[in-house]
Chains A and B, each alone.
Chain A
C-alpha cells in the first residue's frame, strides 16, 4: 500500500529565507509524486509533479523538488520565501491506472502548515 509521511506539522520561516519541506513516501513501484498547496478555504493547487526523468523538478511560484529514490524522499524547496507562500502544503503519491493509463487515486500526507514571519 502506498503511503506518505510529512514529518513537520508546522514550520515557521522568515520572509526571504529559504524553505525545505520534507516528504517521504512508500510505494512498491516507480511513484508519481506531487506537491499541492492549499490556502484557507480553498481547494488544492498543484505546485509540481514528478513522473520520471530528471530528478529535480521545477514548479510554479518558484518551487522545486528533488526526487531521491534511495531515500524515498521528495522534498520541496524554495530559495526565498514570500509572505504569500503561507499556506498548507501536501505531498502526495499517485498510482497509475493500468487500464486507462491515467491517474488513479492520490494518497496524501497529513500536510505541513507554513507560517511566514515578516
Chain B
C-alpha cells in the first residue's frame, strides 16, 4: 500500500515564476491538506481539500491556490514566487469518516522548493 506521494522531490524557480506541486493521497483517503515548512520552523497549514473544494485555509495569500481532482489527488499552485516561498511543502491525507472519530493524517516526504 503506497503512502502519500508527492512530486517533484525538488524544484528550483526564480522570483516571479509560478509553480505547481502534486500530491497523491494514501489509498482510501479522500481529504488532502498542504503545509509549508520553512527552514528551522514547524509546518504551517496552507489549506485543506475535501470533495474537490477548499474546506479550510490558513493565513496564506491568494497567490497560494489549490485543486483536488475526482481521484482525490491534489495540486498546490503558487503564483508570483517570492524568495520567502522557499520551503519544504508537505502534503497530508486522511480519510473523512462518518463515525465520530478523529482520523490520523499521513504525511508525504515533501517537495523542496527553492526560489532564486
Residue from B42, B98, B104 in contact with A101 in the complex, judged by beta carbons closer than 8 Å: B98
Point out residues on A near B: beta carbons under 8 Å: 4, 32, 36, 41-46, 49, 51, 90, 92, 94, 96-97, 100-111
Instruction: State A102–B31 Cα separation when bound (angstroms).
Output: 9
Collect the chain B residues with CB atoms within 8 Å of residue A90's CB. Answer: 42-43
CB distance from A33 to the nearest CB of B (A): 11
7 additional A-B pairs beyond A100-B31, A101-B102, beta carbons within 8 Å, are: A42-B109, A44-B90, A96-B102, A100-B50, A101-B101, A103-B105, A106-B35
Check A108–B48 contact: CB distance below 8 A: no
Instruction: State A103–B32 Cα separation when bound (angstroms).
Output: 11
Instruction: Tell me the interface secondary structure of chain B in the complex.
Output: loop
Check B109–A106 contact: CB distance below 8 A: no
* Number of chain B residues close to chain A: CB under 8 A: 34
Instruction: State A32–B102 Cα separation when bound (angstroms).
Output: 9
Collect the chain B residues with CB atoms within 8 Å of residue A46's CB. Answer: 104, 106
Interface residue B24 (Cβ < 8 Å from any Cβ of A)? no
Check B33–A49 contact: CB distance below 8 A: no
Given the known inter-chain contacts A43-B108, A46-B104, A100-B50, please indicate yes or no for A106 contacting B96, CB distance below 8 A: no
Collect the chain A residues with CB atoms within 8 Å of residue B42's CB. Answer: 4, 90, 92, 108-111
Check A101–B48 contact: CB distance below 8 A: no
CB-nearest residue of chain A to B33: A105
- Give 6 closest A-B pairs by Cβ, nearest first: A108-B42, A105-B45, A43-B107, A44-B107, A43-B109, A100-B96
Check B90–A106 contact: CB distance below 8 A: no
Instruction: State A92–B26 Cα separation when bound (angstroms).
Output: 21
Collect the chain B residues with CB atoms within 8 Å of residue A45's CB. Answer: 107
Collect the chain A residues with CB atoms within 8 Å of residue B102's CB. Answer: 32, 51, 94, 96, 101-103
